A and B are shown apart, each in its own frame.
Chain A
């Protein structure tokens, strides 16, 4: 843990060369992972991550130094090293640290680090038992992970606080094979929850059935044809389209330095009227939620786009200076090995008014993307791509047959105005989002949506 007198001394040391803001972030984290293949536990791996980082600002310059040595001497050396890179003209002093209690909005019933691994293995075996009985499934791979992250944050504005983040997640992946070809299906639900997640969000048997069904469906599916066509994207992980096509480009990481196609567009129309998009860190026990962000700022619910109009960017402390705009509680990082920057939390397109059946019935010929894989984006140009893990060809408004190997590409600013239907049933799904401050848990989400035309990659 971080002691107050040590933190105070470290902040003072960090500001000695004229920095105008200093912060210390200390993390102690226990990660636990179990992997199972064909019903046999392959490995059980526990890892204790421990370290701290000192960050100093001087105007728009940010310096970050981190270490595993969290002794008083180690942290002071870290602060000294950070200060060495700063040459401020005025001298600032750190405010007296004042303890701030963080209200906890994510109630945990059963801390995963207190649960015996044997109970976790038993849950994995429930999924395996189902997979074993599924026709055409030749291999099942099941993973379980939990993590308890304790952080302490102090800064020269006088903030001194702590928070605990608890994550539990399971994934089931099934491989269907006919000997010559393999296809996969998978699901991976999780939450900012303890082991009690198995009473609600994680149902191992249902996961196994879903993964097997998807793999089998894809094994019998022909390859998706290539071309430009209307695309319907279903709810849940389908929200990755907004995450990639727009979300990353609304992070201050891109916007503050002019690297986003949404720069200077606040108050302007950037999407169709039916599109309202939200980034919300406050939803209890959700995968991308927080109590405070990694700069110690309470998390928020932020409207990004309202009825097609761009309302907000996601902004961290350093970029707030560049943009001359307030912070939004969006400063996040994988851990002490990264300086924080603006990142998404639970990001979704809000429910609309359209009826799912009508959305497909009126689409003509196109692609129905029921399940999405991951994707990526280049924020400067807005060019994105993602994979369709379970797709269906639609002819004249009717679903004809499954197709495999489809991908969707486009540019965010071009796609958003082309969303012409938004369904009613919003659902979220869990993902790991990788960017400049590391890999962090985020939710994507949306109801069923339709894009009037998109480039579909296939063969």
Chain B
């Protein structure tokens, strides 16, 4: 059976079995990944995979099932599983399969040239990065991580109302972490680049970024515990935003999992804050013409000058709230149930450079990295307490490297405390971006 025959057989069988409307979501793709350690290529991994999920309305409820096996047995297994799933579901919110929009926007998320880059060139890049990084400074002991990965895939949505959508997506990721050693001290620094244009992967720049950070951090030390004026830089702020992006989901709000429920129209952040969800951002990693329910996507501000303008919706949450979907239906992988997620999600840039923000701050800290977000950031309470590193700022200038501190606060409060948003909008490796942000005061545990 070809995949198109499989899809048709599945939709036919579903309707025959009494499912009122059915939809398949198919994700397929190729991926290449390799690492280089001491000149040798390791972790060389190649794959071509596909997965399909079927969802269907049965007796008014939505059922789900997914498979990676595409034989005839799978057709009836999926249909039966969808019926059982729907029968057990007690969610009273009305769900639907979408009939489609008249027009879909164009999203820039595929570069055919990237698929043509040969493996030898990818391997040569990481071998080159390792050589260059080691040559930059005697104190660089090794690269503890040095990876190139490319992926190219296609998403399809086909349903029993005749909707038939597809879009392609590809990207290359290069990530490097360098280890520096000097008189018994060890530190690391990272460099990376995510792009759809392989020519933008510059071995010199990536190696230099990792090496400079590792060397700078060699002398890092904790600062005394206390309250500090702080800027979270553009490499780090997107991680913070990503840990809490769920609070902007109408699904979380309707389930009582977000404190933003019912706050549309209210000031929830300082006037310096405008938060965008832009699925049509040129070259954005989260760019897409339609969402996971097949709804045409559009650009909107979620926070405009501090005011919450909208939460993010899919069809179900929008119907419940009596509004129009924002086209933010999403799935975590092909097999997941439809939920809500941002596309390209970022704080709109302001006018000042990071240097100017530092100048305005005078004395304080710039936080360049936080870790342990999956454990130390609680999206339900908004509380965070995170291991961090960065540097001190003295009289507006970069001073000493700082590590082994924690920063603690509350995300909802942080939004209100933001004094200024910088001009250096960065997407450091995902669809979530931010400029450097002056967050006012922050609690620090150190020495």
Contacts and interface: CB of A to CB of B under 8 A. Distances in A.
Contacts of A45: 64-66, 85, 335-337
A426 to B, nearest CB: 23
A181 interface: yes
A401 interface: no
A459 B335 contact: no
A69 B71 CA distance: 11
A226 B408 contact: yes
Interface residues of B, number: 78
A384 B376 CA distance: 12
B380 A184 contact: yes
A311 interface: no
Interface string B35-62: 0011011111111111101000000001
Q: Is the interface of A mostly helix, strand, loop or mixed?
A: strand
B443 A68 contact: no
Contacts of B81: 46
20 contacts: A39-B90, A41-B91, A61-B40, A66-B45, A67-B47, A141-B255, A182-B257, A182-B382, A183-B381, A257-B144, A259-B142, A337-B49, A339-B43, A381-B188, A385-B376, A404-B381, A405-B378, A405-B385, A407-B385, A457-B407
Interface of B: 37-38, 40-51, 53, 62-70, 74, 77, 81, 84-85, 88-92, 119, 141-142, 144, 177, 179, 186-188, 222, 225, 255-257, 259, 335-337, 371-372, 374-376, 378, 380-387, 403-409, 443-447
A37 interface: yes
B408 A47 contact: no
Contacts of A60: 40, 42
A81 B64 CA distance: 34
A42 B116 CA distance: 43
Contacts of B43: 62, 64, 339, 436
Interface in A172-229: 175, 177, 180-184, 223-224, 226-228
Nearest to A29: B68
B386 A117 contact: no
A118 B74 CA distance: 22
Interface of A: 28, 34, 37-51, 53, 60-69, 81-82, 85, 117-118, 121, 138-139, 141, 175, 177, 180-184, 223-224, 226-228, 257-259, 261, 337, 339, 373-376, 378, 380-381, 383-387, 404-407, 409-411, 436, 455-459
A259 B179 CA distance: 8
Contact of B44 (A64, A141, A223, A458): A64
Contacts of B89: 41-44
Contact of A378 (B141, B188, B386, B407): B188
A28 B73 CA distance: 14
Q: Is the interface of B mostly helix, strand, loop or mixed?
A: strand
B70 to A, nearest CB: 8
Nearest to A53: B47
B445 A175 contact: no
Given A66-B49, A385-B372, A43 B85 contact: yes
Given A44-B89, A261-B186, A455-B446, A407 B386 contact: yes
B144 A339 contact: no
A128 B371 CA distance: 34
B142 A458 contact: no
Nearest to B123: A85
A383 B404 contact: yes
Contact of A404 (B74, B142, B383): B383
Contacts of A436: 43
Contacts of B372: 374-376, 385-387, 407
Contacts of A49: 68
A139 B144 contact: no
Contact of A139 (B62, B257, B374): B257
Contacts of B336: 45
